[in-house]
Structure 1
């Protein structure tokens, strides 16, 4: 188990992939030219705001709980479900459950690169008041880097792995908006993007996180903004947007995965140290500075709609209220449909009360006849 308390979604690495140009196409608009978008403060902010629409907004899809069904953690009961077929190796490129995320992530990266190019977003004048304008510019500039880190991290999770030559590869790093609509058909046919190495992708994500942290407020909380007038652009009204502590959390996730044996063949322990260091910074902040609701408690139910819930480091914008996820786990005929279920492997992944894996704890003996005794408190939650 990964010893961080913020939610982690992981996915097995997949092989080589084909690139396409759809994600680089500009958004069609009958009333706004590109020049207008890039010179108008409202539409420039819209480049950043639109990125949040590309982030996950629920759990009952192929990157939410269903994603675990591609691993040993859970099973989809339908034999024709795409992730069930993916898990047993009988899916095909025409039925790729992750294709939509490739397209979505690069749309977000394109928006960010448009905002960052030639310092457009930082040089824009958004407000008449110079002080508030500086606060808003810095916040948006930091968000742009944080968003690009987020989308790149999503790409690395879903598409990072060993290429056909055995090298650890990531995704094609794009730091400039590629204007495919200005290319000739001949240029389009020659448009190719090579995958960067896994380490290069990690380094780019970490750089973007550090840039984001430099410009962003540590958290979107009113009590962290003592000047009431500054709350016109800072503070709790921005809950749902990435902040400084979110950037540190992304770094913790990146380091943790990069440290794992799959992506750390030389066993570099410094990666583990950095993962722990970043995770501790996040948890210390949530437990002390941002201790708005009594601190973190393993026995407390997470309320993803409550911005004051201490377990939430970052939550994307809430989309709708439904009980599809619960019904998927409940048995058929008992307010559910039983479309997925946890495995024994997931149960065994939770260690004992002292944090050691089952069977390895010096303090708590694992009893197969009473397997739920003295387990990690999160197991009971």
Structure 2
């Protein structure tokens, strides 16, 4: 009996030691980390696609934030701002959150710099995947910084025309985020540099037209080219989109409200004309305008540069909000007498 008691006590002590050791050592939960991402093509591309989040769409109806229109919804953010609610905690026009997308893009650029991802066993296809996605990343980083500059650039308390912090590296959650602002012009030039880096890597369009292949891709077999840059990637960042955005950035910078610089007006004109010339110049524009809700087709809607995908089932939510009550709408946005 004594031996049995001793045996039980010994087993209890050993069990306690083992249990304590188990408690102190974390259990392997089989979670994937960035080491896995750097070798898995789909996961790596997922990091890049996070850069497409928080893109600014056209349905913000910010005319109601100007003297051109009034919103009749009491909970409208612009109305709340006009009534004095704007403060550090409530700023619906803030775009600081776009830095999250910037960090994702920077992480993707770090991953592909390792050169460990195999998009395809075909060497040409693999190389083109690297080129195109790196170009997308540079363009997205530039665009998100442009968004932030539009919302937060301006004259500081020192009287200097300030831009925004320009992040080119991934920062861990416990890292130092106290990156100083650049000057306004230095921010514009940094954005321009990323747009130019993107233009050196991206196809003008994702097309099956062999005659439209950029010079940097003409050395590759066309069938391989279609795998990496074919029409399946339409709506992803392209050279045409980047040129249009570069023109918009230059026009923004050239404004008398900012740099008031003729050189930037020239850049805007040059980039915009290059985009226009791809559709035959001004004469290539639709004479009666375009309907945004129709199926997107580059051949039919040549002046449409970038748009989101259309849902399969047509919806009338926007019409319901904006049409006047006489046609069963809510009349949400109303033009002012001044307009």
User: TM-score, normalised on structure 2?
Assistant: 0.79
Q: Structure 1 residues 269, 123: CA separation in 2 closer, same or farther (over 3 Å shift)?
A: farther
Are residues 30 and 242 of structure 1, via their aligned partners in 2, closer, same or farther at CA, if it must alter by over 3 Å?
farther
Matches within 5 A, 1:297-336: 297-303=286-292, 305-308=295-298, 309-318=301-310, 321-336=314-329
**Greater mean alpha carbon deviation, residues 274-283 or residues 74-83:** 74-83
Aligned to 1:271: 264
Pair 1:79–1:42, CA change in 2 (3 A): closer
Deviation per CA, 1:292-342, whole angstroms, max 9, x where unpaired? xx9421413233541322121122344685323223331124221011123
Query: Partner of 1:215: helix, strand, or coil?
Result: coil
Distance 1:159 1:345, change over 3 A: farther
Pick from 155, 171, 183: which aligns with 1:178?
Answer: 171
SS in 1 for 2:186: helix
Separation in 1, partners of 2:52, 2:114: 17
Whether contact under 8 Å (1:121, 1:141) holds in the other structure is no
Residue 199 of structure 1 aligns with which residue?
A: 185
- Counterpart CA distance in 2 for 1:88 and 1:280 is 42
Q: CA deviation at 1:155?
A: 0.9
Q: Deviations over 1:242-276 (max 9, x none)?
A: 11111111110010011111002xx3211111111
- CA contact 2:324–2:330 (8 Å) conserved in 1: yes
Aligned to 1:45: 45
Q: Aligned equivalents of 1:300 and 1:49: distance in 2?
A: 32
SS at match of 2:70: strand
- For residue 179 of structure 2, give the secondary structure of its aligned residue in structure 1: coil
Q: Secondary structure at the match of 1:199?
A: helix
What is the correspondence of 1:5-20 to structure 2 with a 5 Å cutoff?
A: none
Deviations 1:87-140 (A, max 9, x none): 4655222221034x421x112111111122375276633210011111111111
1:102 matched to 2:96: yes
1:242 aligns with 2:237: yes
Pairs within 5 Å for 1:153-302: 153-181=146-174, 191-223=177-209, 224=212, 227-264=222-259, 267-287=260-280, 295-302=284-291
How many Å separate the matches in 2 of 1:270 and 1:325?
40
User: The residue matched to 2:146 in structure 1 has which SS?
Assistant: helix
Tell me which moved more, 245-254 or 301-310. Answer: 301-310
Distance 1:301 1:130, change over 3 A: same
The structure with the largest helix share of the pair is: 2
Cα RMSD for the two superposed structures: 2.7
In the alignment of these two chains, the number of paired residues is 298
Residue 69 of structure 1 contacts residue 83 of structure 1 at CA under 8 Å; is this kept in 2?
A: yes
Quote the residue 2:110 is aligned against: 117
Structure 2 alignment gaps of length 5 or more = 1-28, 214-220
Taking structure 1 as reference, are residues 87 and 312 closer, same or farther at Cα in structure 2, changes over 3 Å only?
farther
2:164, 2:196 → 1: CA distance? 20
Where do 5+ consecutive residues of structure 1 fail to align? Answer: 1-28, 347-381
Query: Bigger CA drift: 128-137 or 72-81?
Result: 72-81
Answer whether contact 1:160 1:169 (CA < 8 A) is retained: yes
Larger Rg: 2
